[in-house]
């Protein structure tokens, strides 16, 4: 026989009531006349009304408030009447006027003693969920639409004030300097918002400044008496604000980035709903503010120079283009000043990058100080700055440029050393020198280079002539690049002869020659500097080493006695760590030894303090290469440097040689150079010997080697062979 569990006894009324009262939902029974006949304790807890305050009244009368959706209520009524039930969300108000979002289910309760048409309503408090949902959706939508942060924050304030009409909400940001910046305070008088702007956070800075400072919520129940408000009281009390509760908005690392505050019109504490509202909002505000500052940071990185904070080229170009449109419309001129610091690289290299950075920041500051409202400024690259001066005539531009040069040239202290920075400025005028910002930039840049090469610390106005030269130079650069890749450069060789036996070679100097298909012979004095500036010189040098080595090996293979070949090296190649090795490799490819070439360097290489230069020189010396100091007497001519480097030969510059017969000073200097070189064990090669007078004087004063037109011009390889054959009878070597 199946065993049935014992049937539970039916619930007593009292038990049923207790169960209903225990529910968190509000349960309401109404009769056919829509009058309330029963509410549970959940109703009282949710809305604050006791049964005696509700019974016999219509639910609408009790719970609808200023922001309730009257249409919804009507449609509920209609629905219940038509279909007998309804489910919907609605905003209702509690006894103290507090809004409550409720999810409402109404079902007919069937006939009872009071007749047909009664209903049972079950209301669930969904205020928080609803609020969260509404706020989150709105704020996220706002972010997607790229609403400005103040607008988003105002939206949060208004939404909160809708739910809790007794509060006035404000959102402030804390900036990098720790100052408060109002983002939104739609319910506060504008004068108060303005007064809040720039208030520093601190231990007694009202509710918000203190909350940010302590990084914890601050409740001030009475602004009139709380000492935290001593400095800010008057304004707020006058406009009726009596209490303020402020909470810090924290970023993902927990640092305060803003405050979210509730103001009250009477002295009081926040209540439970307020606390929940704040919990929800703080998170949304943090997300929005952090996102905004990330945006700003990206903008800053994209458009501003990190070191000086000045606009960068991209920002300058766009704002300058707009400014030019404006000037064009007004029919006014403008000026573009292109400024480049003189010898900035030296500061960077000799004193380190920290010193260079400090100098750049100071220059940026000095440039900014002289600006007028409509002027634009930017840092283009390492030590290049530009200014766009609006409404500026040529004379005014020159005046301003002089003032800038003067301001820059004030002494300053960098890491304990006094500097007097100098700059060169090129000026291009709008619209006469160009009507787009790119043209103006290019022309002002050309003018600046002209200023630099004329004499430093100066300024130069752009001219059409300058533009022509710049274009020629650009064409030269392109053609040279082509020549290098076509291998269409050649080398000529100039004999260097022994004074004691002018028919005998000491060696030959390789000199680069460029025969351009249209332009004809381009002199090295023209294309070598272009190669240096355009970064082509290293490639040229490597080619030259290879070609000179190949030629020397070929001569020797053909039985020609060429003791060595001298090659001219550019200082720039010494900045490459692999240079010494590359020289060795070139020789090895052609079976030569280090003693077969002489490496001509200039005094600038000797003076170059860069470790890489010294390492290359050391490595070359170690491999047994001989260094020859070219153009001796023209540069720094610091004899004291001579013994520091492994120099084995000095080339006395032709300027001395050519003055020998006319100038006693040239003779005296030459005598001392010869004697110093002799005592240091160096060979002297006199360059540019053109006359027998010069030859005889040099010979008489013990100069061992000579080079010049008197003995032979630079010649193509086959003519060198002819020259060698012509020097018969050849002495035995």
Residues that bind Ca ion (CB under 5 A): 568, 600, 630-631
DSSP 529-583: HHHHHTT-HHHHHHHHHHHHHHHHHHHHHTT-----EEEE--GGGGGSTTHHHHH
Q: 636 vs 709, which CB is nearer to ligand C2E? A: 709
- Tokens 């002799």: give the residue: 678
Q: How far is the CB of 708 from ligand C2E (least distance, A)?
A: 3
With CB under 6 A as the contact rule, which of the stretches 195-203, 451-459, 522-530, 640-648 interacts with ligand C2E? Answer: 522-530
Cβ-based nearer residue to ligand C2E, 261 or 654: 654
Contact 183/150 with Cβ under 8 angstroms? yes
Q: Is 507 in the site for ligand C2E (CB under 6 A)?
A: no
Closer to ligand C2E by Cβ: residue 502 or 524: 524
**Smallest distance, Å, CB 577 to ligand C2E?**
19
Which of the 8 DSSP states describes residue 732? P
Within positions 609 to 648, which residues make up the interface with ligand C2E, using CB under 6 A? 630-631
Shortest separation between residue 676's beta carbon and ligand C2E, angstroms = 21
| Of residues 300 and 482, the one with the C-beta less far from ligand C2E | 482
| H or E segment and range at residue 250 | strand 243-250
Count the site residues for ligand C2E by CB under 6 A: 19
> How far from 457 is each of 140, 362, 406, CA to CA, in Å?
56, 17, 9
Which lies closer to Ca ion via its Cβ, residue 342 or residue 649? 649
Prior bond of 431 cis (ω within 30°): yes
We find the least distance from the C-beta atom of residue 601 to ligand C2E, in angstroms, to be: 10
- Nearest distance from residue 633's CB to Ca ion, in Å? 10
Whether the bond into 191 is cis, omega within 30 of 0? no
Decide which of Ca ion, ligand C2E, none touches 256; Cβ closer than 5 to 8 Å per partner kind. none
Which tokens is 9 given?
A: 């006894």
Closest to Ca ion by CB, 399 or 638: 638
Distances (CA, A) of 644 to 359, 441, 568, 618: 32, 44, 21, 11
Bridge-based pairing state of the strands 243-250 and 412-414: unpaired
Torsion of CA 710, 713, 715, 720, to 10 degrees: 10
Which residue, 247 or 573, has its beta carbon nearer to ligand C2E? Answer: 573
Q: Which of 418, 525, 662, 665 binds ligand C2E (CB under 6 A)?
A: 525
Q: Which does 523 bind (CB under 5 to 8 A by kind): ligand C2E, Ca ion, none?
A: ligand C2E
DSSP assignment string, 49-82: --HHHHTTSBHHHHH--TTS-HHHHHHHHHHHHH
Asked whether the beta carbons of 669 and 656 are under 8 A apart, the reply is yes
Within 10 angstroms of residue 679's Cβ, the number of other Cβ atoms is: 8
- Residue 445 or residue 630: which is nearer to ligand C2E going by CB? 630
How far is Cα of residue 642 from the mean position of the Cα atoms in its chain? 44
> Which of Ca ion, ligand C2E, none does residue 709 bind to, with CB < 5 to 8 Å depending on kind?
ligand C2E
Question: Helix %, strand %, coil % for the chain, to 5?
Answer: 45, 25, 30
Residue among 334, 453, 342, 444 nearest 396 (CA): 334
> What interhelical angle do 611-622 and 579-589 show, nearest 10?
30
Regarding 528 and contact with ligand C2E (CB under 6 A), the answer is yes
Q: What mask, x for binding ligand C2E by CB under 6 A, covers residues 166 to 195?
A: ------------------------------
117 binds, among Ca ion, ligand C2E, none (CB under 5 to 8 A by kind): none
Q: Kind of pairing, strands 168-174 and 36-39? A: unpaired
Q: What residues numbered 465-504 form the site for ligand C2E, per CB under 6 A? A: 494
| Binds ligand C2E by CB under 6 A, chosen from 294, 382, 589, 709 | 709
Comparison of 467 and 628: residue with beta carbon closer to Ca ion: 628
Q: Rounded to the nearest 10 degrees, what angle do helices 149-163 and 272-303 cross at?
A: 170
Nearer to ligand C2E, 342 or 630 (CB): 630
Q: Which does 570 bind (CB under 5 to 8 A by kind): ligand C2E, Ca ion, none?
A: ligand C2E
Which of Ca ion, ligand C2E, none has residue 467 at its interface (CB below 5 to 8 Å by kind)? none
Of 187 and 524, nearer to ligand C2E (C-beta) is: 524
Window contacting ligand C2E (CB under 6 A); options: 20-28, 107-115, 131-139, 685-693: 685-693
Smallest separation, CB 640 to ligand C2E (Å): 23
Shortest Å distance, C-beta 316 to ligand C2E: 37
Instruction: Locate 715 and state its tokens.
Output: 């010649």
Q: Which one of ligand C2E, Ca ion, none interacts with residue 511, CB within 5 to 8 A by kind?
A: ligand C2E
Least Cβ distance, residue 394 to ligand C2E (angstroms): 39
Which positions ≥6 away from 287 have C-beta within 8 Å? 139
CA distances from 282 to 139, 150, 248, 278, 288 (A): 12, 15, 8, 6, 10
> Smallest gap, in angstroms, from Cβ of residue 491 to ligand C2E?
7
Among 48, 524, 529, 584, binds ligand C2E (CB under 6 A): 524
Chosen residue from 50, 97, 116, 523 binding ligand C2E by CB under 6 A: 523
Site string for ligand C2E, 555-594 (x = CB under 6 A): -------------x-x------------------------
CA distance 342 to 591: 45
**Alpha-helix residue ranges (DSSP H) falling in 370-463:** 394-408, 437-454
Q: Give the nearest distance from C-beta 503 to ligand C2E in angstroms.
A: 17
Q: Are 698 and 499 in contact (CB under 8 A)?
A: yes
**Packing angle of the helix pair 313-330, 437-454 (nearest 10 deg):** 110
714 in contact with ligand C2E (CB under 6 A): yes
Q: How far is the CB of 305 from ligand C2E (least distance, A)?
A: 36
Token pair recorded at residue 539: 């490639």
Judged by beta carbon, residue 375 or residue 631, the one nearer ligand C2E is 631
d(CA 231, CA 361): 37
By beta-carbon proximity to ligand C2E, the closer residue of 182 and 688 is 688
User: Of these, 99, 688, 704, 717, which contacts ligand C2E (CB under 6 A)?
Assistant: 688
Nearest of 537, 484, 486, 545 to residue 510 by alpha carbon? 545
| Residue 374, number of CB atoms within 10 A of its CB | 14
Task: From the list ligand C2E, Ca ion, none, pick the one residue 311 interacts with, judged by a Cβ distance below 5 to 8 Å according to partner type.
Answer: none
CB 431 within 8 A of CB 335: no
Residues that bind ligand C2E (CB under 6 A): 494, 511-512, 523-525, 528, 544, 568, 570, 630-631, 654, 688-690, 708-709, 714
């Amino acid at each position: 026989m199946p065993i049935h569990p014992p049937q539970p006894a039916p619930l007593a009324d009292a038990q049923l009531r207790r169960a209903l009262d225990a529910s968190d939902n509000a349960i309401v029974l109404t009769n056919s006349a829509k009058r309330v006949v029963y509410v549970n304790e959940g109703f009282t807890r949710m809305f604050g009304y006791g049964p005696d305050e509700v019974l016999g009244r219509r639910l609408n009368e009790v719970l609808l408030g200023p922001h309730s959706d009257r249409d919804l209520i009507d449609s509920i009524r209609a629905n219940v009447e038509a279909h007998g039930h309804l489910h919907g969300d609605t905003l209702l108000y509690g006894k103290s006027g507090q809004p409550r979002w409720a999810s409402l289910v109404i079902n007919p309760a069937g006939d009872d003693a009071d007749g047909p048409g009664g209903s049972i309503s079950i209301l669930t408090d969904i205020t928080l969920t609803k609020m969260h949902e509404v706020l989150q959706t709105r704020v996220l939508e706002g972010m997607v639409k790229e609403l400005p942060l103040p607008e988003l924050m105002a939206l949060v304030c208004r939404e909160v004030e809708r739910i809790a009409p007794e509060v006035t909400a404000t959102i402030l940001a804390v900036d990098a300097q720790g100052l408060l910046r109002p983002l939104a305070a739609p319910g506060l008088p504008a004068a108060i918002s303005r007064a809040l702007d720039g208030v520093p956070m601190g231990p007694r800075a009202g509710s918000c400044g203190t909350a940010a400072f302590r990084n914890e919520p601050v409740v001030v129940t009475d602004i009139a008496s709380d000492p935290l408000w001593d400095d800010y009281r008057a304004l707020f009390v006058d406009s009726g604000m009596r209490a303020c509760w402020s909470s810090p908005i924290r970023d993902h690392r927990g640092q305060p980035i803003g405050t979210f505050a509730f103001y009250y019109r009477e002295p009081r504490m926040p209540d439970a709903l307020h606390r929940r509202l704040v919990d929800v909002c703080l998170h949304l505000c943090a997300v929005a503010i952090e996102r905004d500052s990330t945006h700003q940071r990206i903008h800053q990185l994209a458009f501003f120079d990190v070191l000086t904070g000045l606009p960068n080229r991209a920002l300058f170009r766009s704002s300058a283009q707009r400014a030019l449109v404006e000037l064009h419309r007004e029919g006014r001129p403008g000026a573009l000043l292109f400024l480049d610091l003189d010898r900035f690289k030296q500061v960077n290299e000799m004193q380190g990058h920290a010193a260079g950075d400090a100098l750049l920041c100071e220059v940026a500051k000095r440039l900014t100080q002289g600006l007028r409202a409509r002027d634009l400024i930017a840092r283009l690259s390492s030590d290049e700055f530009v200014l766009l001066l609006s409404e500026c005539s040529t004379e005014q531009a020159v005046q301003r440029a002089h003032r800038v040069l003067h301001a820059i040239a004030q002494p300053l202290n960098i890491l304990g050393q006094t500097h007097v920075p100098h700059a060169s400025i090129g000026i291009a005028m709008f619209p006469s020198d160009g009507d787009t910002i790119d043209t103006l930039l290019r022309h002002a840049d050309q003018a600046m280079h002209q200023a630099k090469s004329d004499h430093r610390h100066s300024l130069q106005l752009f001219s059409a002539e300058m533009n022509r030269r710049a274009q020629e130079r650009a064409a030269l650069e392109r053609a040279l690049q082509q020549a290098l890749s076509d291998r269409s450069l050649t080398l000529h060789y100039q004999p260097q002869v022994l004074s004691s036996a002018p028919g005998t070679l000491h060696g030959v100097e390789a000199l680069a020659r460029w025969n351009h298909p249209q332009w004809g012979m381009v002199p090295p004095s023209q294309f070598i500097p272009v190669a240096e500036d355009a970064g082509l010189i290293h490639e040229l040098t490597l080619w030259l080493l290879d070609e000179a080595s190949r030629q020397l090996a070929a001569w020797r293979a053909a039985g020609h006695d060429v003791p060595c070949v001298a090659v001219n090296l550019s200082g720039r190649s010494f900045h490459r760590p692999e240079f010494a090795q590359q020289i060795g490799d070139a020789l090895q490819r052609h079976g030569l030894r280090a003693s077969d070439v002489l490496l001509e360097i200039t005094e600038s290489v000797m003076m170059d303090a860069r470790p890489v230069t010294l390492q290359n020189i050391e490595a070359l010396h170690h491999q047994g290469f001989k260094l020859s100091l070219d153009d001796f007497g023209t540069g720094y001519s610091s004899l004291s440097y001579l013994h520091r480097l492994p120099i084995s030969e000095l080339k006395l510059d032709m300027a001395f040689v050519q003055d020998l017969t006319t100038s006693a000073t040239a003779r005296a200097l030459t005598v001392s150079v010869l004697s110093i070189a002799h005592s240091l064990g160096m060979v002297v090669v006199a360059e540019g010997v053109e006359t027998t007078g010069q030859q005889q004087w040099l010979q008489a004063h013990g100069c061992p080697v000579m080079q010049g037109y008197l003995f032979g011009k630079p010649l193509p390889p086959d003519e060198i062979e002819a020259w060698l054959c012509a020097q018969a009878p050849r002495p035995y070597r």
